[in-house]
Structure 1
Amino acid sequence: MKKKIFNGLLQILGIMIVGAIIGYSVGKIVGDSLSKVDTPNSILLLIAGVLAFILHIIVHEAGHLFFGLLSGYKFISFRVFDFKIIKDENGKLKIRFERLAGTGGQCLMRAPEYVEGKFKYKLYLLGGVTFNIVFSVVFWLVLPSYYTLLFALIGFVLAFLNLIPMGFNDGMTFYHASKDETTRFILHLQLEYIYYQSIGKNLLIEKPEIVEKINSLEITNTNYLTDALEFIKLDGLEYFFEFDALYNEVRKLYTERDDLLSVYKVELMALLVKLISLVNPEDELLEEIMKDKSLKVRLKQKNPQTKNILATYEYGVKLDDEKALNLINEARKIKNKAPNLYIQNLEMKYCDYLENNIIK
């Protein structure tokens, strides 16, 4: 805990120093230009700031897309806030809605075939930051004004916040990937896994040799990229509805790994609500996690995964079959709000499973 606090303070100090340098530099560079333009309306400037922030998120993700394509990657999805464009199994673009805590956007792509020592990840990971900086400079040089200055400042701030390694941003992912080949392979594996989910398939089922490869990995630098392997393994159990084994593994991971990212912990808690309700409703851990504020927020999400979690809770813990069935029907109605085709299909399959358990 002390280490996390210390690292957090260092990050804040680093951001303040960078901000001061940027502010001083900008003042020196643009001072003369701004003296020649009219002072803007404060309300318009505020609106421009909001629009600039949204535009820079789009620009940032477009940077990942551009440099990903340049590196031989293939498009999977492009998300800004909750709005998401995906390419389905037939190559057609579709709109879905997905919320991922801690991110304003995300561009996911399928990496080229993995070749040890030659994995192209640098341009893809740094593409967003590069676009933020380039577009900021270009807009200011082409049309210097208070509005383009605001656009540029927001762009530089977002760029540095993503470049300085912290949380699970681009800089941190780049930092971990640059440290060793195993982490780079795992990054590639994650992107491949996401691609298969986008076309409604499970990578471990389609390519069972990957399981052996995962089990043979020697992980020396544990981080959120390597932690994602745990979720890939859990997904294999969920695919076959091996809920007893899944319950044991998820409970063990949750109770033994305090160092997991908060977003991982929240997803584990959400999964535990479902599994405890289904397998062992008397587990005292359920009452503990249901008090967690982050979980309460997570369980307000309107997607089929959440509806099924709540339906299982009503069925297994509250013993309210009618409410459980209503939640199952709600899950079916919003199936298109699942983040990808694989999860959509899996949740619809679970709807049938739970419904059969209730009415039998």
Structure 2
Amino acid sequence: MSLKRLSLLILASMPLALWADGEVGGSAAGLSLPSERVVSSVMARDEKAFANLQQRMSLLNSERGVAINSYALAKAQAWWDLANAEYRMNDRSDYVRAVLAEVERLLVLMESDKPADLTRVEPKPSKPLREDMWRAVAELKAASAFACAEANTARLEVMLAGAGHDYDELGWRHAVPRVAMAERLLKRAKVDFDDEACKPKPEPVIVPEIVAAPAEASTTVAEPVPVIVQDSPVCVPLPAPAPEPTVKVYADRVHFAFASDVLSLRSQELLMAWIELLRSQPDLAVDLIGHTDMQGMDGLNEKLSARRVLAVREFFMAAGISPKRLLTQAQGKRAPTSLQAAENRRVELRLRGDIPGIRLQRQQQDVQ
């Protein structure tokens, strides 16, 4: 056998992720080329590539103590979410591989204990939509209280970059949803600065101590001061009212797109508040109840509602929440709560028992 033929056979037997690098260089976190995403075995391997990156993010938080709301980890998660959404929407460009390569770059930085750079890094340059918002991003990063807005600023950058990709591929109409989400993220990032912990503390005022001069000796006898007796009753001040207990509000549901079990970025933000609650209350358990709209066959809707519950459960588990605390149900289309189909595509979250200071509230901010 010739040396050339032997070399070709060796290359053909190697896993694709080791040599099919495409345009982005490296293995692109092990993801396949777009042209090969046509068989179940390739797509299963891609699922493992996504899961591997998510596991690394989970370990950075649980074992190395990298804060979830830190700029680098929030940005890596946002890029992962964008890549996952584009992959499931069958993006046939090499954009998904490029985005996962950027996730890999950020993970390597954090795993090496290197600080994340705040420069704008895009996997593939796209049309810079909304230059005014990019200027706002630069202002957020330059603010003295940037540490309070790191997570939402990172998500904002990724959302704007994704909108630019949508514009390049499909035009303005397809970029509008991500531009709208970017506008909401910008508002949230500005609100982050209003947190009491982020407001600048006033400089302490030092009041000089006044020392009274010694009184001169006097031989005169002071006249007694007359005592005035009043008939009015003595006023006793009433005790100050006790402060009202603080009540924290949590979303009681997250929503999904039609026929989808992928968590949107907004849904993930709502679930992040739940993760913080579950970490602060280690004995708390939550029911996760999946639903669909009224369209389609019963059996398919049962399976879809189960996948939606699994998506929420896995999101919690990736953040270190024990599966024993996450109790799941799949209701299919049996329990609609609205005439609007989009509002019925949901996973409800219910606490086991009443917890003082916690209130659940129905929300529609992530309806798709």
Higher helix share: 1
* Shared fold (TM-score, shorter chain, > 0.5): no
State the structure with more CA Rg: 2
TM-score by length of structure 2 reads 0.30
TM-score by length of structure 1 reads 0.31
